[in-house]
Amino acid sequence: MFLPKNLCPVPFDQQPLNEYAELKKSCFFAWSILSLKEYILAILALFNFLLISLSPFVWLIVYSRISLFRFILYDVITVNFIFILIFIRLYLGWSYIIKRLISATVFYEESGWYDGQVWVKTADSLTKDRLIGVYEVYPLIVRTKYGLCVFIFLFTLESFISYLL
């Protein structure tokens, strides 16, 4: 993945392919590249974990002789809000990577003194980056968008139900 210095003046950790590899390895983003079945199971496991672990806090906040149904509803609303934040972060991370992969130019900083420079990718590098962007990263963005839409819909529905109660 590393391009030699004579082909690419961009520092190693700022090259788009290396940024993609680092993001894939990170703990927060790694579960989003699992197969669909494992991805859904990971979401359900995290949902259940958050539901159980946040229930004491929700109980302390809304403890005023509310019904069990309302308590569970508030707990689920809280977990859905956390999932919305998680999916927004996933979307922002993957969209940044695909923007860097698909772009024909790479903005980078060599010295850290905010003296940014622009490198124009070679044809081979651009082709490789775009193929990875289109066939590996774009499906993750679509998956993240669907997840975000589902949790926004659930959050809205649960908030409306809570309002009606």
Query: What's the token pair of residue 72?
Result: 């569970």
Q: What is the largest CA-CA distance in the chain?
A: 70
pLDDT above 60 for 143 = yes
pLDDT above 60 for 2 = no
Predicted local confidence at residue 68, as pLDDT: 84
3-state SS record for the chain: CCCCCCCCCCCHHHCHHHHHHHHHHCHHHHHHHCCHHHHHHHHHHHHHHHHHHHHHHHHHHCCCCCCHHHHHHHHHHHHHHHHHHHHHHHHHHHHHHHHHHHCCEEEECCCCCCCCEEEECCHHHHHHHHHHHHHHHHHHHHHHHHHHHHHHHHHHHHHHHHHHC
Percent of the chain with pLDDT over 70: 95
Residues 6+ apart with CB under 8 A from 106: 10, 14, 15, 16, 100, 118, 119, 121
| pLDDT higher at 162 or 52 | 52
Contact 13, 100 (CB under 8 A): no
Identity at 69, one-letter amino acid code: F
Predicted local confidence at residue 51, as pLDDT: 96
pTM: predicted TM-score of the whole model, two decimal places: 0.88
pLDDT above 90 for 151 = yes
- Domain ranges for the chain, please list them: 32-107+117-164
Return the closest-CA partner of residue 132 out of 29, 33, 43, 6: 33
Chain centroid to CA 119:
27
- Could you read off the pLDDT of 46-98 as tens digits, one per residue? 999 999 999 999 888 887 677 888 889 999 999 999 999 999 999 999 999 99
